Structure 1
Amino acid sequence: MENFLAEITEILEEESVELTDELESFEAWDSLTVLSIIALCDSEYGVALSAEEIDNSGTVLGLRELIESKM
């Protein structure tokens, strides 16, 4: 999880991302972004997430906690 913020920042096409940021507030937030997060979680963390779980996580911190809970 060391590079989590950097990876999410890249997926969201932002210069920086804070843990408190709402996922849906990003301009790049769409179904392709969700698919990119699903692929990242599978390849980097060995975790399978659904689009619904990602949407329900709400914030960047919520997403990180979701991933950690499944590791």
Structure 2
Amino acid sequence: MEKYLSTITEFLEVDSVDLNDSLTSFESWDSMTILMVIDFCAGEYGISLSADEIENSETILGLKELIDSKL
């Protein structure tokens, strides 16, 4: 979880995140950030995610749960 939160915080260009934060509430949440998440998940976890799956996850926790469901 530590690596995940650290990476998401970096991708979102903020100092910290809360698991309940909405992904769309971040100014830097865009298609490029989604691509970075896809690349991170492929490299770090060896899983494949679609942009739609990521967008439907809605929150930081929802995204983590999506990743966990693919492991």
TM-score bin, normalised by smaller chain: over 0.9
* Count of aligned pairs between the two proteins: 71
Which residue does 1:8 correspond to in 2?
Answer: 8
Structure 1, unmatched stretches of 5+, are none
Which residue does 1:48 correspond to in 2?
Answer: 48
Following superposition, the deviation at residue 2 of structure 1 comes to 3.4
Structure 1 length-normalised TM? 0.96
- Tell me the C-alpha RMSD between the 2 structures: 0.7
Moved over 2 A (4+): none
Which residue does 1:36 correspond to in 2?
Answer: 36
**How much identity, in percent, do the aligned residues show?**
59
Structure 2 length-normalised TM? 0.96
Following superposition, the deviation at residue 70 of structure 1 comes to 0.2
